[in-house]
Amino acid sequence: MACEQYIQPDTLKELVTGLAKMTSDSVILAGGTDLIIKLRSRHMNPDCMLSLCRVPELKSISESGGYLRIGAMETHDNIANNTLVRKECKALAMACSHVGSQQVRNKGTIGGSLGNASVAGDMLPVLVLFHGLVEILDSAGKTRKVDAQEFTLGIGRTILQPQEVIMAVWLPLQSHRESCFIKLGGRREVTIAEISLAFSWERSGQHFHKIEGVLGAVDTKPIYLQEVDEILEDRKVGKYEMDLLADSLSKRIRAIRENRKRQPRLRIQECEKVYKERAVKGIVYDALEIMMRKTDKKSKNI
Amino acid sequence: MIIHFVLNGKQTTADVQADRRLLDFIREDLHLTGTKEGCGEGECGACTVVLNGKAIHSCLTLTGQLDGGELLTIEGLEQNGELDEIQKAFIKKSAIQCGFCTSGMVMSAKALLMENPHPSKEEIKKAISGNICRCAGYREIKEAIQLVAEKEEE
């Protein structure tokens, strides 16, 4: 790996100037935890690398006009430990606290994760759950905001143009709502999601209202789950509801497998093909158990 | 590219190739070979160093990103000829066998204790979950970190 030009702007103005030099062969360096592996394993030599680590405007978590604004260069560790995020968007804090290892969380950023657009990424499902926006800066210095749901186009592809960069993500503040995120991977820590599930809800007594859910890592994009509210709305959740939801998600995952045109690159066994549609039951149980726990919003344990 | 940074407590300026891995810069240019390369893709944690108070993979960091930062490598732990408490604890608890993972493991522990001097067992486990040891075993390593955490409590 070698790049012809390495640009590391110190200010927003320099960043805009730098963006103008980017071509379709250029890369943007956020934390580097995905990019450096990609460049080395594919022997890529980009013509230009734009490093974002010194631009102060890309770092900060603040409240602004009914939204929580998180700078693109905020690390997973910072987000996971931020009081405002933990209070307002617990699902995001939960997701961030289980990305990779401590070293990855210290360096990996929310903007980098979104830009990398891995289908197993943990950030996008949460953003979709909260109906978040992605703020994009271009080489003219203009910004625009797009719906998180529209940001990703598929595996590793986003709507970002070569001369654009993610500035921040915006999440609407909804203090009356609670949320959670959970993922299933091959191991407990340092694991990549095989299935991820995020819920948000309003609580009254033992009942839930206006429940929203997003399923991640099973298709090329996160899936918004319309059926969650139909199944759980105003009900006391028991085994019947849990199984109903698990069945429904299992059917969804089966449909994705059956409709897949591209054959899997790896040779996988018959039982592995149906793994996710069976394993989803466990993660539904786990997520609903978290929901049913009467949580203190200030609780430190996530 | 000219970068300014603090290396193990000492203000340093260097003319570097910004797109080179920090790991290569540390080992080949600074000749600090205590930092090891294991997998080279952020899985094993052998290359862990502390940058701005946080444990990071030097194999997934570019040298340009070091500009303005404060870097602590395993060589920076020893003060006036005396090993750091964590190093002493690793020796006392026999938390070393082949030693390849040790510098990364120690640096992860150092970053944890810098931020949280009295971590719980769970916090210790989580902090070193990105460091893989294939011989001595994690029990002794966890005990060594625990020893320092408890010592500082006294």
Distance CA B109, CA B124 (A): 8
Residue B104 forms beta bridges with which residues? none
Q: How confident is the prediction for chain B on average, in pLDDT?
A: 96
Residue of B nearest to A47 (CA): B19
Q: pLDDT tens digits, residue range A5-16?
A: 999 999 999 999
| Alpha carbon A283 to chain centroid, angstroms | 17
pLDDT at A302: 55
Helix (H) or strand (E) holding A110: helix A110-116
pLDDT at A295: 54
The answer to whether A103 contacts B55, with C-beta atoms less than 8 Å apart, is yes
Q: Which residues of B fall within a CB distance of 8 Å from A53?
A: 65
Q: Say whether residue A101 is in contact with chain B using an 8 A CB cutoff.
A: yes
User: What three-state secondary structure class fits A163?
Assistant: coil
Q: pLDDT tens digits, residue range B118-132?
A: 999 999 999 999 999
Q: How confident is the model at residue B21 (pLDDT cuts 50, 70, 90)?
A: very high
Q: Say whether residue A33 is in contact with chain B using an 8 A CB cutoff.
A: yes
- Residue A69 near residue B97 (C-beta atoms within 8 A): no
Q: Residue A1 pLDDT > 80, yes or no?
A: no
**Mutate which of B50, B57, B63 to disrupt the A interface (most A C-beta within 10 Å)?**
B57
In this prediction the pTM is 0.95
| Percentage of chain B modeled with pLDDT above 70 | 98
Residue A296 gets the label, from left (phi > 0), alpha (psi -120 to 50) or beta, of: beta
Q: Say whether residue B129 is in contact with chain A using an 8 A CB cutoff.
A: yes
- Go through the domains of chain B in sequence order and give each one's CATH number: 2-76 (3.10.20.30), 85-151 (1.10.150.120)
pLDDT at B152: 57
| Alpha carbon A19 to chain centroid, angstroms | 25
**Mutate which of B39, B50, B71, B129 to disrupt the A interface (most A C-beta within 10 Å)?**
B129
Q: How confident is the model at residue A264 (pLDDT cuts 50, 70, 90)?
A: confident
Q: Which of A157-166, A193-202, A259-268, A274-283 shows the lowest mean pLDDT across its residues?
A: A259-268
- Go through the domains of chain A in sequence order and give each one's CATH number: 5-51 (3.30.43), 57-172 (3.30.465.10), 178-292 (3.30.390.50)
Distance CA A237, CA B143 (A): 42
When CB atoms are compared, the residue of A8, A100, A190 closest to B18 is A8
Q: Which residues of B fall within a CB distance of 8 Å from A1?
A: 19
Q: What sign does the dihedral A95-A97-A103-A105 (CA atoms) show? A: positive
The answer to whether B54 contacts A77, with C-beta atoms less than 8 Å apart, is yes
pLDDT at B153: 57
Residue of A nearest to B3 (CA): A8
SS3 content of chain B, % helix, strand, coil (to 5): 40, 20, 45
pLDDT at B133: 96
pLDDT at A134: 98
pLDDT at A124: 98
Mean pLDDT of A268-279: 91
The two three-digit tokens of residue A161, written as one number: 């143009």
Q: Residue A296 pLDDT > 60, yes or no?
A: no
Residue/partner pairs of A38-45 with CB below 8 Å, 24 or more apart: A39/A1, A40/A1, A40/B40, A40/B41, A41/B41, A43/A1, A44/A1, A45/A1, A45/A2, A45/A3, A45/A4
Residue of B nearest to A188 (CA): B129
| ipTM computed for the complex | 0.96
Cβ-based neighbour number of residue A150 at 10 Å: 13
Q: Residue A267 pLDDT > 90, yes or no?
A: no
Q: How confident is the model at residue B92 (pLDDT cuts 50, 70, 90)?
A: very high
Q: Which residues of A fall within a CB distance of 8 Å from B129?
A: 101-102, 189-190
Q: pLDDT tens digits, residue range A35-83?
A: 999 999 998 999 999 999 999 999 999 999 999 999 999 999 999 999 9
When CB atoms are compared, the residue of A3, A37, A189 closest to B42 is A37
Q: How confident is the prediction for chain A on average, in pLDDT?
A: 94
Q: Which residues of A fall within a CB distance of 8 Å from B126?
A: 102, 189
- Residue B27 near residue B35 (C-beta atoms within 8 A): yes
When CB atoms are compared, the residue of B60, B64, B68 closest to A37 is B60
Q: Say whether residue A29 is in contact with chain B using an 8 A CB cutoff.
A: yes
Q: Nearest CA to B133 among B90, B91, B104, B93?
A: B104
pLDDT at A215: 98
Distance CA A86, CA A297 (A): 8
Q: Residue A271 pLDDT > 90, yes or no?
A: no
Q: Say whether residue B122 is in contact with chain A using an 8 A CB cutoff.
A: no
